[in-house]
Structure formats: structure tokens, C-alpha cells
């Protein structure tokens, strides 16, 4: 059996993990068509007291920002790499500081089908976020130049936030990037001359 290589982050801090020259999704597909074993995942099992609710809500928001896969109540997962492990370790510390319990696990799904299902759920969630950006950029084509450029800056920042939690990039990622770039570079129509 081939040893599992750690997930590597692409340059620029933008969330597409690679193993060698393949993206994570390509790697899952390649392993699905071979006798290889599923990849490694970091799991966080946690329980936070209901009261006070502020730490519980803060932890939930941080997990959502990371783009975790919710496997069940109090159990989340991310593809294993040093960054995801460190982030989940920080959140585990926050859970214990809030009076809860937390445990970090490194594991492999029992089957490739399970891994594909979790990866698919994560990719679908990101695809919806990218589609919302594409729709917003497309709908803003009629805005004045200053409003359009301001919106383009905001959408680029949102794209970067989504890409940081995008471990299995869907096709919608490229469409959102193109729509945002088009919004920023769109030519301003010249005003029509009014007859005297």
C-alpha cells in the first residue's frame, strides 16, 4: 500500500488543497477508480454548554467560516493538512475554555463512497455560495461605474473568503471569478447624445 501524503496548500493562501499535481477532488476520483484507500480527515468531536449561548454561537460561526462537513451533531470534519488541523485544534481549545468537551481525531472514511459523499456535500455548499456571487455580479451590470467598482471589490473579498474554505472546487468557482472580473472591467457605455 502506498503511504498517504499530507495535503498541501496551493500558493497565495487560497483554499484549494493539492496532493502532487492533482486537486483534492481529482484525487478522490482517482482513488475511486483504483484500489486505493480513502484520504485522511481531521475530525472534531465537541459538546458546548447551552448557556451562556455566546461561546456556542461563536464556535458555530468559526466552524462555518472554515467550511467544515457536519457529520452529525457535535462532529465535524475537514480534509487533513497542517492548517485544518491547527484551526480545529484552536476551536477545540475554545470549546474547553467555554466549559465544554472536545476531542480532535485524524481518521479515514471506511469507504471511498463515504468520502465522495462528504466531499460532494462540501462542494455543493461552496457551489451555492459561488452561484450567489455570480448572480449578484451579473445583476449589477447596469450600475454606475463607482457603484459597480465598489461592488466588484466587495465580491472579490467575498470570493477570497469562500476560496479559503473551498476544499473541493466546483465549476461555479470559475464562473464567479469570471463574473466578478467582468464586473470590474466592464466598459462604461457612453451617454447617448440628445437631439437639440
For residues 184 and 54, which has the higher predicted lDDT (pLDDT)? 54
Q: What are the tens digits of pLDDT across the range 52-65?
A: 889 999 999 999 99
Segment 64-102, tens digit of pLDDT:
999 999 999 999 999 999 999 999 999 999 999 999 999
Tell me how far the alpha carbon of residue 178 is from its chain's centroid: 18
Asked if 13 contacts 164 with a C-beta cutoff of 8 angstroms, the reply is yes
Q: What is the pLDDT of residue 38?
A: 80
- Assigned C-alpha cell, 9: 496548500
Pairing status of strand 22-23 against strand 75-79: unpaired
Residue 55 CB partners (closer than 8 Å, separation 6+)? 48, 94, 97, 98, 99, 100
Fold of the domain built from segment(s) 8-112 = Alpha-Beta Plaits (3.30.70)
Q: 19: how many CB neighbours lie within 10 A of its CB? A: 18
Q: Write down the domain spans for the chain.
A: 8-112, 114-185
Amino acid at each position: 500500500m502506498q503511504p498517504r501524503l499530507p495535503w498541501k496548500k496551493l500558493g497565495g493562501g487560497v483554499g484549494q488543497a493539492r496532493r502532487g499535481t492533482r486537486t483534492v477532488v481529482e484525487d478522490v476520483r482517482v482513488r475511486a477508480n483504483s484500489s486505493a484507500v480513502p484520504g485522511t480527515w481531521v475530525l472534531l468531536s465537541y459538546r458546548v454548554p447551552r448557556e451562556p449561548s455566546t461561546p456556542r454561537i461563536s464556535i458555530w460561526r468559526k466552524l462555518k467560516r472554515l467550511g467544515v462537513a457536519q457529520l452529525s451533531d457535535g462532529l465535524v470534519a475537514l480534509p487533513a493538512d497542517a492548517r485544518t488541523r491547527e484551526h480545529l485544534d484552536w476551536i477545540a481549545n475554545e470549546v474547553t475554555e467555554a466549559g465544554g468537551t472536545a476531542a480532535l481525531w485524524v481518521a479515514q472514511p471506511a469507504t471511498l463512497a463515504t468520502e465522495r459523499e462528504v466531499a460532494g456535500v462540501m462542494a455543493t455548499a461552496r457551489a451555492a455560495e459561488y452561484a450567489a456571487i455570480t448572480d449578484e455580479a451579473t445583476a449589477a451590470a447596469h450600475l454606475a461605474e463607482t457603484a459597480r467598482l465598489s461592488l466588484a471589490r466587495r465580491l472579490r473579498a467575498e470570493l477570497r473568503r469562500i476560496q479559503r474554505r473551498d476544499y473541493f472546487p466546483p465549476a461555479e468557482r470559475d464562473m464567479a471569478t469570471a463574473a466578478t472580473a467582468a464586473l470590474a472591467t466592464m466598459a462604461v457605455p457612453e451617454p447617448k447624445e440628445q437631439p437639440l
